[in-house]
Amino acid sequence: MSFGPRSTVLVTGANGLTGSRVVARLAQAGQPVIATGRGARREAIADLPGVEYVETDLARAGSLRDAIERSGPAAIVHCGAMTDVDACEADPLQAWTANVSATAEAAMAARAVGARLVALSTDYVFDGEAGRSYVEEDRPNPRGTYARTKRAGEEAALLLGVDVAVARVAVVYSARKGSKRTFAGSAAEALLAGKEVKAFSDQTVSPTLADNAAEMVIGLLRSGEKGVWHCAGGSAVTRFDFARALARTLGANEGLVVGVPLSSVALAAPRPRNSSLRVDKIRRLLGSAVPLDLSAQLERFARERVR
């Protein structure tokens, strides 16, 4: 089946940070969308024309396959996943089911109905020890249950699907109404209330505004390109620098941001020290301005807050 501007796209994780923006952007472009998610349709994707909502449970074998086979989409954007890194560490079986088995199911169902698949993944496939930002050709070395299941999900998608692209995003945040709470959202509220915010000064990441991630993922979907793509924001910063830039954008006191080392917090799952992603490849595909640098993202984030 060939994919075009009027073809139906099925999106998983449609209530989530990235999935909700993929659904909204596709719907705004007039593309018919089957939005699938856990439980009822939520606020982030309410009232969008051309969007049918189908409840699916990635943890139940066959639930996603049935949704795909019933609707026969021309493309699938697989954003659904168990994304709580520490919860994954505590429950490897649930993490495997949601992040690997469901992705394998998406790939096999995509193959069966002749759909293109874009499967989302993470910067955490890297161990963060290279001391530089990662390119797509770098060899993954995932640490921790979330990271290992996401890497296995990448392999499942690439091995079992036919027309497949993997889109790695990182540290996703959004201020859209109804979107999940993230570090940036909580930090913004605290900073504007004059409260201190602690942020890791020794963890380097590529923060990605969910709306910008959706732009890149949809661009990749439409391009027809296969393989692995980094679809993250264009700046590599420590979480401390991220929070200080956020404070400046909001006109808050950046002195409220206090840098702390990763070792100061007992976390169940390991965190890579520098899992920032190079985005040159997606820049070449979609244009240099598409992966937004941090200041452009934060300006958009600030506009989202007041909408």
**72: alpha, beta or left? (left if phi > 0; alpha if psi -120 to 50):** left
Binding flag, residue 180, ligand NAP (CB under 6 A): yes
Of 73, 80, 140, 234, which one interacts with ligand NAP (CB under 6 A)? 80
Residue of the chain from 33, 58, 209, 243 that contacts ligand NAP (CB under 6 A): 58
What is the x/- site pattern for ligand NAP, positions 81-110, by CB under 6 A? xxx--------------x------------
Q: How far is the CB of 58 from ligand NAP (least distance, A)?
A: 4
Minimum CB separation from ligand NAP for residue 170, in Å?
Answer: 5
CA–CA gap between residue 37 and residue 43 (Å, rounded):
12
Q: Which is nearer to ligand NAP, 94 or 114 (CB)?
A: 94
Q: Which lies closer to ligand NAP via its Cβ, residue 70 or residue 253?
A: 70
- Asked whether the beta carbons of 209 and 173 are under 8 A apart, the reply is yes
Diameter of the chain by CA atoms? 55
SS3 category, 76: strand
Per CB under 6 A, 120 contacts ligand NAP? yes
Task: Provide, rounded to whole angstroms, the least separation between the CB of residue 24 and ligand NAP.
Answer: 13
Q: Does 17 bind ligand NAP (CB under 6 A)?
A: yes
**Of 185 and 240, which CB lies nearer to ligand NAP in the complex structure?**
185
Decide if 146 is catalytic.
Answer: yes
Residue 73 in contact with residue 32, Cβ under 8 Å?
A: no
Cα separation of 180 and 97, whole Å? Answer: 22
- Measure CA 300 to chain center: 17
Instruction: List helix spans (H) across the chain.
Output: 17-28, 63-71, 85-90, 92-96, 102-113, 145-160, 183-192, 210-223, 239-250, 280-286, 294-306
Q: What share of the chain is helix, strand, coil (3-state, %, to 5)?
A: 45, 20, 40
- Our finding on whether 16 is near ligand NAP (CB under 6 A) is yes
Residues of this chain, 201-260, that bind ligand NAP according to CB under 6 A: none
Q: For the segment 139-178, give every residue that binds ligand NAP (CB under 6 A).
A: 150, 169-172
Residue 69: CB atoms within 10 A of its CB come to 12
Among 53, 124, 134, 146, the one annotated catalytic: 146
* Residues with Cβ within 8 Å of residue 159, at least 6 apart in sequence: 107
Site string for ligand NAP, 25-54 (x = CB under 6 A): ------------xxx---------------
Q: Which residue is nearest to ligand NAP (CB)?
A: 16
Closer residue to ligand NAP (CB): 10 or 170: 170
Instruction: Please report which residue ranges of 125-236 form alpha helices under DSSP H.
Output: 145-160, 183-192, 210-223
- Of these, 3, 9, 11, 19, which contacts ligand NAP (CB under 6 A)? 19
- Residue 15 contacts ligand NAP per CB under 6 A: yes
Residues at the site binding ligand NAP, with contacts judged by CB under 6 A: 13, 15-19, 37-39, 56-59, 79-83, 98, 120, 122-123, 150, 169-172, 180
Active site residues: 146
